[in-house]
Amino acid sequence: MESCIIETPLGFTKIVGDDYGITDITVLNSTEKITDIIPESLEECVIQLNEYFEGTRQQFDLALNPQGTDFQNKVWRQLEQIPYGKTITYFELSKQLGDIKAIRAVAQANAKNPIWIVIPCHRVIGSDGHLTGYAGGLHRKRWLLEHECPHKQQSLF
């Protein structure tokens, strides 16, 4: 496995992967040394993340290799189907997966998503429309959803 650290608008981010795909993208809560030379297997991921943050990319086209249980991988694949700029609830996600009673298990799998942003767990919200738990912090979830919002609020002042 190879890794690198890049800086994003939401903090330092660690990317891990190899020729089989990206296994982890994690936002860090500390200051880290930015990687000088990006490993070849991670270059495309860095490019696409930068495009996402610049607002020029809405879909990722990367080989992903998240490590999890069969159920977690099923949930993560379903998360990838949530369109840019849209949100769904945990209940809706459970329904899409075919078992509304599995809402807690779905929420736990969502929370264990190892590939930040690319597998868009930030697009899942509470049934009442409120932002709920997010491993990267609710301030980052809010930022990501506002970044993806198709209707940008203009300043009145």
96 closest CA partner among 114, 85, 110:
110
Q: pTM for this structure?
A: 0.91
- In 3-state terms, what secondary structure has residue 25? strand
Residue 4 known to be catalytic: no
Cβ-based burial of 110 (10 A; exposed 0-12, middle 13-18, buried ≥19): buried
Is residue 116 within 8 Å of residue 123, measured between CB atoms?
no
Per-residue pLDDT of the chain (157 residues; tens, 9 = 90+): 999 999 999 999 999 999 999 999 999 988 889 999 999 999 999 999 999 999 999 999 999 999 999 999 999 999 999 999 999 999 999 999 999 999 999 999 999 999 999 999 999 998 888 888 777 888 999 999 999 987 665 544 4
The residues, any chain, with a CB within 8 Å of residue 150's CB and separated by 6 or more, are 85
The residues, any chain, with a CB within 8 Å of residue 105's CB and separated by 6 or more, are 71
Catalytic entry in 4, 45, 121, 149:
121
Distances in Å between the Cα of 130 and the Cα atoms of 103, 121, 143 are 16, 14, 14
